[in-house]
Amino acid sequence: MARFLLHRLVAFLPTLVGISILVFFVIRQIPGDAITAKLGAEAAGELTPAQEAAYRAYFGLDKPLTQQYAEWVGKLLQGDFGYSEIRREPVLTAIFKTFPLTLELTVLALLIALVLGLPIGIVSATRPNSVLDLFSRSISLLGLSLPNFWAGTLIILVLSTVFHSMPNAGRFITLAEDPLRNLGQMFFPAFTLGFAFSASIMRTTRAVMLEALSQDYVRTARSKGLRERTVILVHTLRNGLIPIITLTGVEMGYLLGGAVLVEDVFALPGIGRLTYTAILQRDYALVQGAVLFIAFNFVLVNLLVDFLYSVVDPRVSRA
């Protein structure tokens, strides 16, 4: 298994290199630069040629792009992601300030999705075409159809007009400051994301369970006199976990990148909102640092998914 994971880790290195190249060169095709981010478009346009040359030399913009990229990668390897001229702090500091919130939101959303989606999907598969199955399929369609930003807006509307409550009003409270108030602020954003993802979990679980229940090994397990719960949870569900793990891994990577619309609707200072604001403010150092950090999270999640594959089905590590 160690060799299997090592091979996967080595395979991810070219992916990170490719993403870094893409991020660095594509962002430089967007109008504006670090000078515009620092001074503003109006002030940058009034610079004399000598002042502009001095600023370009200060930010390293007078060098060829390949040299700028090499220097940027060299700093990355030393843990220097650059400096945000808008926020007046290092990029890595800004990322580490916002990432814990996004990580907490991701974990809560995944827990809600799995707690809702897995049991309902299992029951739906074991009782196909029943009233419960039809109800769960209708709920899953609802979850897939509702846009997250609309569901979040609807939740805020109901809370404010019917219950006269706004859990997300005021300053965001971290988990370390006050766990109960923090969970009160995080529950509805996490539910908004988790409910939508639980719909995918329901449908995937139902599909893989229905396919597994028709296999010979399930009939053999039942013929041995095993309890139905053991047949469902041990023999059937475990053999259908690979698609569920894949789906969960993709969703986790997406959420760790920051659920931009949900974070914005609920005014959560997460990494998604940070990146969105950096794009609007043309803070290019922060944008490329945040995007690379998000891509790195995707790589780590994929490595974790590969590890879980080998745990659920040891044959994967021998492939």
Q: Which CATH number is 205's domain given?
A: 1.10.3720.10
pLDDT tens sequence across 216-256: 777 887 888 878 778 887 777 777 788 888 888 888 888 88
CB 110 within 8 A of CB 255: yes
Please report whether residue 19 resides in a domain: no
Please report whether residue 228 resides in a domain: yes
CB 41 within 8 A of CB 32: yes
Q: Phi and psi of 61, rounded to 5°?
A: -80, -10
Q: What are the E-state strand segments in the chain?
A: 83-84, 89-90
Distance of alpha carbon 303 from alpha carbon 255, whole angstroms: 16
Residue 222's contacts (CB-CB under 8 Å, 6 or more residues apart) are 228, 231
pLDDT tens sequence across 157-213: 888 888 777 777 777 888 888 888 888 888 989 998 888 888 888 888 888 888 887
Query: What average pLDDT does the chain have?
Result: 81
Please report whether residue 218 resides in a domain: yes
CB 106 within 8 A of CB 271: no
The three-point CA angle 276-102-262 to 5° equals 55
Q: In the predicted model, what is the mean pLDDT of residues 25-31?
A: 77
Q: Which of 128-132, 211-215, 310-314 has the lowest mean pLDDT?
A: 310-314
Distance of alpha carbon 287 from alpha carbon 279, whole angstroms: 6
Distance of alpha carbon 216 from alpha carbon 213, whole angstroms: 8
DSSP state of 246: H
Distance of alpha carbon 158 from alpha carbon 164, whole angstroms: 8
Please report whether residue 306 resides in a domain: no
High-pLDDT (> 70) share of the chain, %: 92
Please report whether residue 276 resides in a domain: no
Please report whether residue 1 resides in a domain: no
The three-point CA angle 279-86-257 to 5° equals 40
pLDDT at residue 319 in the model = 53
Angle between helices 131-145 and 179-213 (to 10 degrees): 120
Distance of alpha carbon 188 from alpha carbon 259, whole angstroms: 13
| Residue written as token pair 């399929």 | 137
- Domain of residue 237: give its range: 92-271
Distance of alpha carbon 135 from alpha carbon 119, whole angstroms: 14
Q: In total, how many domains does the chain have? A: 1
pLDDT grade for 313, boundaries at 50, 70 and 90:
low
